[in-house]
Each structure stands twice: as C-alpha cells, then as structure tokens.
A and B are shown apart, each in its own frame.
Chain A
Amino acid sequence: MEKRVTFSRWTIGILFAVPQLLLIFTFFYWPAGQAVYWSLTLQQPWGGGNIWVGLDNFRSILSNADYWNSISASLIFAGISTGLAMFIALVLAALTDRQLAGSRLYRVVLIWPYGIAAPALAMAFRFILAPEAGFMAVVNQVWPGFWDPGLDGTDAMASIIVAFSWKYVGYNFIFFLAAFQAIPRSLIEAAAMDGSGVIRRFWDIQFPLITPTIFFLLVINITESFQDSFGIVDIMTSGGPANATNLMVYKIYSDGFKGLDYSGAAAQSIILMLLIVVLTIFQFRFIERRVHYR
C-alpha cells in the first residue's frame, strides 16, 4: 500500500530515518556480520588477529555431542512447552468467548502471567517445584525420591517447561481471544439456526477461522522458546543437571562468556539465526492465508 499524497523534500525524509538506520547498523547489522566473520575465523590465544579457518568451527560444533544434546533439549523444550501453552490457551479462550457470567474476570486475570519477567517467575517456580520445600516436597514425602530437578534431567526439563508454559498461556490467550471475537456473530447464529450445536460450531466454523492465528502463534511460541527461556534456565537449573537443560541460547552464553570461545559461540549463533530465519519465512508463507480471511 502506498500513500497518494506525499512530501516532495526527500532530503528531509531521509533525515527522519537516520536515527533508526544508525542504530540498526551499529547494533544489528554490524554484530550480525561480526558473528559471521567470527564463525569463519579462529581467534589466536595471544592476540595477533583472527586466522581464517573456513567452516572448521561449524565442523567442530556439529561433531560435538554436547551441541547435539543442546539442540535436542531445545527442540524437546520448544515442542512440549509450545504444545502445552497453545492447547491450554485455546481451550480457555474458546470457553471465555462463550461470554458466560464471569468471563470478564477471566479476560483480565489470565493475561497477568505474561507481564512477569521470566527470571522472577522462574524463581517462584523454583520454590514451588523445589524437592525439599514447597509443593513437590509433599509428593516426595509420599514417594521418597520421586522428584528432584537438581539430580534428574527429566524433572529439570519438566520444571522449565511448566514455568515457560505458564507465562505463554497468557500470551496465547490474548491472541486466541482476539481471533475468536473477530468472528462475526451472524455466522455463529446462522449455524445455530441450522441446528448445529456448540461443539459442531467450534470445529466447523470457529476452528477453521482461527487457523491463521494458530500458525502465527506456533511460530512465535517456538522462536520465543529459543530466546525467552534463557532467564528461566539460568535461575532454575543453570543448564544442569548434566546438561539436561542446556538450551541453545544458554549454551551460546556459557560457551561465549564463561568459556570465552567466541568463534564457537558465533558459529552456534549463526546456526540459531538460520533456524529462526527459516521459521520466520515459514510464517510469512502463512501470512497470506491470514489476510485472505479479512
């Protein structure tokens, strides 16, 4: 879409864009380029500049079992937490959209979790799910040794999934509810007059009409699970036990800043960038479908 009426003094026009361009050049394009450069070179330990090593960094990362472990942990985390957060939010939004008494209260309260910082909610869940105090301790008293995120990788993974899903249920809920409310009432009423029940109307009218939102949220949730998980992992498990929750962004951080392996961290960043770009392109293919319904 283009404006018909515009201003002719285009030098002024460019000036308006300059602050933004300077910012994204300095803090976006330069670092992104730098990451590519670092990933293809190796910094010498005693200075003296970087030496070109081609794809060696990628080769050594991709042949490292720890890295594959980190990828699979990230995918498990992304898959389960996205599924959980979206399914719960979809059910809650569909039911809230029925607008029974009290639905306004739910509309207000259910989005609170999304406002909370990931580390703060991670702290809360660290207590709630702690093996020796809090609530899982009760379970541990009945079955001793049942739950210990500090020692058992599966328990640790479950903890961070619960914490992340709790936050993103609120996020997904907002979008699902908006999508449901955008469906014209007349459609629902017409279907009801034709004799279809609530469940039938959901599957045959509402669900098809919100599929664009579902695709959109699917991509957003997966990308957020790559980035927003850092605070949760750092506070709840620090990547442990035994790397069970060493998600990709956390590994970039610990390799780059704790291990000071810039080249390795940069190569990992590039792989993660590619992953996210592929996901985003995938999303744009579905944007057309979203617009189609309008």
Chain B
Amino acid sequence: MVERTPFLNFFTHVILFVGFVFCIAPFVVVIIAASHNLKDVNDVPMSLLPGNDFWLNIKTAWTTADLGPKLLNSFIMAAGVAAGKVIISALTAFSIVYFRYPGRTFIFWLIFVTLMLPLEVRIVPTYAVVANVLSPYQTILDITGLTWLIEKVSGVQVSLSLGLLNSYTGLILPLIATATGTFLYRQFFLTVPDELTEAARMDGAGPLRFFIDILLPLSRNNMAALGTIMFLWAWNQYLWPLLITTDQSHATAVTELKQLIPNVGGIPEWNIAMAGTLIVMLPPLIVVVAMQRWFVRGLIATEK
C-alpha cells in the first residue's frame, strides 16, 4: 500500500480471516459430518475430528438417492444448456450486429426484454407449454382459422402435439430461452475492428465464412466464460427440473437432494444427508476452482 498503517493492517488481516472462516466453515462442517457414524453426528456438540465412516456414508447416500444416473442427468442438462447458449447466442448476436435489415431494432428489444423476467416467475404457463410444446402453434392455427382451412382442403384434422415433460429437451430448451449470452457477444462483436470485416469481404468471404473462420475463433474467451457460467447456472437449477421431471428417470442430482432430508421421528441420518450434499456440491465447486478465471470474467461480463 501507499503508506505504513500497522494497526489497520492488523485489523484487515483479522477481518479477512474471519470472513475466510465463515466462508469455508459450511464446507468443512459438511465434510466432517459426512465422516461420522449415526451416533457421533447427532452428538451435541458434534466432534470436529473426522470419523471413520466417510466412504460408507458416501456409498449409502449414493445408493439411497440413486445419484449415479442423477449426476449424469445433471451433467447432460448443464452441458446442453451451456452448449446451446454458446451457439445460439453467437448466432443471434452476429445477426443483430453485422446485418442491417428491417425490424432489426425490434428484434433487439424483443430479445432484450427476456432479461427482465426469470423462468421462476412465469413457471406455471411455461410448464403448460412444455407439456405440449406445439400448443402455441396449434392455438395460432386455430385462431387464424387455418386449422379449418386445412381440414376443408385436405381433410386432415391438424392437431399438433409434442410433450417434452420428462425429456432432456424439455429440461434444456426453456433454460436457453433468455438473452443473457447474446449481449455478451454483442458487446464483444462491437469491439471487433471494421477493417477485419472489410479485409474478409475483399478476399471474397461471405457472412457465413466470416462468422465461422474469423469471428468465432476471436470469441473463444467469451465462449469459455459464457460456457462456464451457464454450466454452473444450469447445474444449480432446482425449480424447473423439479417440476418437469415427474418421472425418476430424468431427475437431476440437485432435485434428488430432497430425498435425503432426514425424516422426523427416529434419529436423523445427518451423516448420510451431508454425504449426499457433498457429492452434489462437488462438481460445481470443481468447475469454479478449475475455471476461476472464466467464471469471474463471465459473471462480470454477462451481467453488464
């Protein structure tokens, strides 16, 4: 620092250390509780020395909540959302930055508004749409009279129906339908020098060529940042998977945690619950630690 401030430095160290302790204490408690046997974990006060049953508890939690397939589901959902976001946002941003077409500003605002309303607040109707994802189009056909027209002309009764409950598509698509990534790319595309576009055009590259060979390689940093953030965000989703996976086969690890809440009556099995919690919180934590740089960058950039 600029000057010597021994007292303030001491104070700084103390506060930061206290913050540090509060920050990691829950992690430590979870790990220690997960290593105790049933009796020790319910001791008051619980011993802070790890017990010997760590692997046993992990195994019990793993089989009780059937975490193997659930973790796989979580992974598929998170990877799907991250990949979908990275690709679709790039396409859209390219369209609204590099082209002039009528209605471009309108499309921009159409996408921009989606930032305002998170999935949680429009959860009930979104659920109804996913139950039959073609229902909006069916309704449009009905209202415009096209259903009637088609039936008169060809004799075919149009009834579009495609249920996405209990499917990966149903888990993933509604989570992609926001504007978060689009503006990250837009911000970046606007900083790409015009000379690059001119040079590419002079060399005879069309829009598709320019996009794939020049713009995308330049956006690698943005893709990594956006991918990391979206992976974590999707992994940590709870309400949406809880609703649309009525069937166990598509449940995710985070929603399965509920199975591990110790029931009232009897001695609560907190050691198993904490072992399960540890398993579920570990993958995102690994991503945060390994991808820290992209995580921080993505977080700050996507919110702007």
| Residues of A that sit less than 8 Å from B by CB | 1, 3-7, 9-17, 19-21, 23-32, 34-35, 38, 88, 91-92, 95-96, 98-100, 102-103, 105-106, 108-121, 123-128, 130, 132-135, 137-138, 141, 166, 169-171, 174-175, 178, 188-189, 192, 197-198, 216, 220, 223, 226-227, 230-231, 234-235, 249, 252-253, 256-257, 262, 265-266, 269, 272-273, 276-277, 280
Q: How far is the CB of B142 from chain A (nearest CB, A)?
A: 12
CB pair B257 A235 closer than 8 Å:
yes
**Nearest A residue (CB) for B108:** A17
Instruction: Please indicate which of the listed interface residues B177, B242, B287 has the most CB atoms of chain A within 10 Å of its own CB.
Output: B177
Q: Which residues of A contact B91 (CB under 8 A)?
A: 16-17, 19-20
B203 within 8 A of A: no
What string of 1s and 0s marks CB contacts (under 8 Å) between B43-63 and chain A?
Answer: 111100000000000000000
A123, B194: Cβ atoms closer than 8 Å: no
Judging by beta carbons under 8 Å apart, are A124 and B26 in contact?
A: yes
Q: Which of B126, B210, B303 contacts A31 (CB 8 A)?
A: B126
Task: Tell me how far the C-beta of B90 lies from the nearest C-beta in chain A, rounded to whole angstroms.
Answer: 9
Q: Can you identify 30 A-B contacts, CB atoms within 8 angstroms?
A: A6-B98, A12-B99, A13-B98, A13-B104, A17-B91, A19-B92, A20-B92, A27-B129, A28-B117, A31-B126, A32-B125, A108-B289, A111-B296, A112-B285, A113-B26, A116-B285, A119-B254, A119-B257, A120-B280, A124-B26, A130-B270, A132-B44, A166-B22, A175-B303, A198-B8, A227-B118, A234-B242, A235-B261, A262-B124, A280-B115
Tell me whether A234 and B2 are in contact (CB under 8 A).
no
Contact indicator A106/B19 (Cβ below 8 Å): yes
Q: Which of A17, A111, A235 contacts B288 (CB 8 A)?
A: A111
* Cβ-Cβ contact count across A and B, 8 Å cutoff: 318
Chain A binder among B143-151, B152-160, B217-225, B230-238: B230-238
Chain A residues near B30: list those with CB within 8 A: 124, 127
Is there an interface contact between A273 and B1, defined as CB atoms closer than 8 Å? no
Chain B residues whose C-beta falls within 8 Å of the C-beta of A265 in the assembled complex: 124
Contact (Cβ within 8 A) A273 B124: no
Shortest Cβ distance from B303 into chain A, in angstroms? 7
Task: Known A230-B238, A273-B122; judge A13-B274 contact (CB<8 A).
Answer: no
Q: How far is the CB of A175 from chain B (nearest CB, A)?
A: 7
Q: B161 on the interface (CB 8 Å rule)?
A: no
Is B94 touching A123 in the complex (CB atoms < 8 A)?
no
Q: Which residue on B lies nearest to A193, using beta carbons?
A: B2
1/0 per position for B122-136, CB-CB distance to A under 8 A?
111111111001001
Which of A110, A117, A134 lies in contact with B238, CB distance below 8 A? A117
- Which residue, A20, A102, A124, has most C-beta atoms of chain B within 10 A? A20
Q: Cα distance A266–B274 when bound, in Å?
A: 36
B residues near A, CB below 8 A? 1-3, 5, 8-9, 12-13, 15-16, 19-20, 22-24, 26-27, 29-30, 33, 41-46, 88-89, 91-92, 94-101, 104, 107, 110-111, 114-130, 133, 136, 173-174, 176-179, 182, 189-190, 194, 197-198, 201, 206-208, 210-211, 232, 235-236, 238-239, 242-243, 254-255, 257-258, 260-261, 268, 270, 273-274, 276-277, 280-281, 284-285, 287-289, 292, 295-296, 299-300, 303
Contact of B284 among A109, A115, A125 (CB under 8 A): A115
Q: Which residues of A contact B258 (CB under 8 A)?
A: 119, 234-235
Known interface pairs A17-B91, A234-B258; A134-B46 also in contact (CB < 8 Å): yes
Flag if B206 contacts A269 (CB, 8 Å).
Answer: no
CA distance A198 to B30 in the complex (A): 38
CA distance A188 to B1 in the complex (A): 10
Decide: B129 and A226 in contact? CB cutoff 8 A: no
Determine whether the beta carbon of B114 is less than 8 Å from that of A28: yes
Task: Give Cα distance in the complex from A169 to B287, angstroms.
Answer: 19
Judge whether B235 and A117 touch: CB under 8 Å.
yes
A114-B299, A120-B257, A123-B277 given; name 17 further pairs at CB < 8 Å.
A5-B194, A7-B99, A13-B99, A34-B129, A106-B16, A108-B289, A111-B296, A116-B285, A117-B280, A127-B29, A169-B23, A178-B296, A197-B5, A235-B258, A249-B121, A249-B239, A262-B124
**Does B285 contact A19, Cβ atoms closer than 8 Å?**
no
